[in-house]
Amino acid sequence: MKLSQHYTRTSVYATLTVLVIGAVIYYFAINYIGTQQLDRALQQQLTEAEEYIRSNDGNPQLYDLDRDHAVFVKTNRQLLLKRFFDTTYFNPKEQRSEAGRAVEDLVKQKDSNYKVVITVSRAGQKNLIELISIITLALLAGLLAVLFVINKYMLNGLWKPFQLTLNEIKQFNIADVNQFKGKPSKVDEFTELNGAIREMSLRVTHDYLNLKQFTENASHEMMTPLAVVTTKLDTLIQDETLSAEQLGQIAGIYSSVNKSSRLNQSLLLLAKLENKLVTEEEPISLETVIETKILQFQELIEKKELTIRHTLYPRQIVASKYLVDILLNNFFSNAIRHNLPGGFIIIDLNFDQLSIKNTGAANTLNGQQIFERFQKGKDSQGAGLGLTLVKNICQLYGYTIQYEYETGWHKFVVTF
């Protein structure tokens, strides 16, 4: 829900509540005042009637204040408490009953006591309340309408600078040279927001550059000692007095150094991928690259007596040549290494996807785990980063990668 809707909702609820409570209080107040006034009028009539009866000896029943609105009943009671009460009033003009207000009292005429009841109509007061209610309702409706209009047009206008800022943030790319600018606004809050975002983007860009620097420095710091070890070994093996056993030890060191330098390269590449530091892109014809790869791996394929079949439709992608190379190297070396002797590799490339499947061990791999770092098979020689690199390269270009197992076939599908 949009902020303006939230605001409208809250303001409407608040207004409605206040107005409803106000109307109720208003109603009771008017009712009370009206009743007070009627009671005063009744009191006056009662006083007049009493005076009349006291001064005239005639039958009080003959006294009619306003045509039958005063009723005298002879009673034996000596005491009757004066009281005002709501009752119905019969309007002789209109010939119908209306709400009325009455007073009851005891009047003495010589020896006899009379109970007198005077009734008046409340119709006037009711009309007044109705009128006031209508005006209140109309006010309420008007207020709501005004609130809606203000929220719809005024608030949206107010939030315009926010929308502009938001759009700019969405387009912000850390690798871009373009910095966040932010349109100047007359509203203090938005100016402050733009300022804060500008500062943040500067800081983030700075950190990003630092990180890039760090990646390169880390590479340098780790690769140089490895280079020293390698060249020292290269020098050491020139010694002709070395025994077979010593040479065997050196061979072991060679392969460990080689492993750690590859591991280091993979880790640095992963860091680069995760920080989106690889930005070189060029159009690449995948079908050509795949054909070249098949030739490159020919020796390995022949050694394992594998049969490779491929259906390649032209598909051009825009990506880093280096990364595509790593991607395919991983697919190929996996498909060869984990294949059975005399097995098959089938490669399909079309506009939507690239699929590579190979025959292999008759058990499915964990489709989630295989893409995790340092997850490797029993007979894998690598560090277990190959498929992680594959996944991250795919992510970088917005491709999806899937693993499927189907009765002896292991299949990797990249969907562009």
Partner 1 sequence: MKILVIEDEQGLRENITSYLNVDGNICESCSTLTMSLQKLSDYDYDCVLLDIGLPDGEGFGVLEYLSIKQKTEAVLIISARNSLDDKLKGLNIGADDYLTKPFHLAELKARLMAVYRRKAFNTSNKLVFNEISVDMQGRTVEINQTPIILTRKEYDMLLYFMANKGKVISKNAIAEHLWGDEMDMYDSFDFIYTHIKNLRRKILEVGGRDYLTSIYGMGYKFTD
Regarding 308 and contact with partner 1 (CB under 8 A), the answer is no
Regarding 265 and contact with partner 1 (CB under 8 A), the answer is yes
> Are the beta carbons of 227 and 268 closer than 8 angstroms?
no
Task: Please report, as residue ranges, which positions from 273 to 302 form the binding site for partner 1 (by CB under 8 A).
Answer: 280, 296-297, 299-300
Regarding 271 and contact with partner 1 (CB under 8 A), the answer is no
Integer angstrom CA distances of residue 201 from 172, 185, 213, 300, 320: 9, 19, 18, 50, 27
Integer angstrom CA distances of residue 188 from 48, 73, 191: 73, 80, 5
| Residue with Cβ nearer partner 1 (107 or 347) | 347
- Sole residue written with tokens 């020293």: 228
* In the complex, least distance from residue 321 CB atom to partner 1, rounded to whole angstroms: 9
The two tokens of residue 209 are 């550059």
The two tokens of residue 58 are 């005639």
Measured CA to CA, the distance from residue 80 to residue 189 in angstroms comes to: 74
From 132-140, 146-154, 167-175, 224-232, span contacting partner 1 (CB under 8 A):
224-232
Regarding 12 and contact with partner 1 (CB under 8 A), the answer is no
Regarding 340 and contact with partner 1 (CB under 8 A), the answer is no
| Residue with Cβ nearer partner 1 (34 or 382) | 382
Which of 87, 275, 333, 353 is close enough to bind partner 1 by CB under 8 A? 333
From 21-29, 120-128, 146-154, 245-253, span contacting partner 1 (CB under 8 A):
245-253
Regarding 97 and contact with partner 1 (CB under 8 A), the answer is no
Regarding 244 and contact with partner 1 (CB under 8 A), the answer is yes
* In the complex, least distance from residue 272 CB atom to partner 1, rounded to whole angstroms: 9
| Residue with Cβ nearer partner 1 (134 or 236) | 236
What phi and psi, each to the nearest 5 degrees, are found at residue 56? -110, 145
Site map for partner 1, 352-391, x if CB under 8 A?
Answer: -----------------------------xx---------
Which of 35, 329, 353, 375 is close enough to bind partner 1 by CB under 8 A? 329
Regarding 219 and contact with partner 1 (CB under 8 A), the answer is yes
From 29-37, 138-146, 258-266, 360-368, span contacting partner 1 (CB under 8 A):
258-266
Number of residues that bind partner 1 (CB under 8 A): 45
Residues forming the site for partner 1 (CB under 8 A): 216, 219-224, 226-235, 237-238, 244, 247-248, 250-251, 254-255, 257-258, 261-262, 265, 268, 280, 296-297, 299-300, 303, 320, 322, 329, 333, 337, 381-382
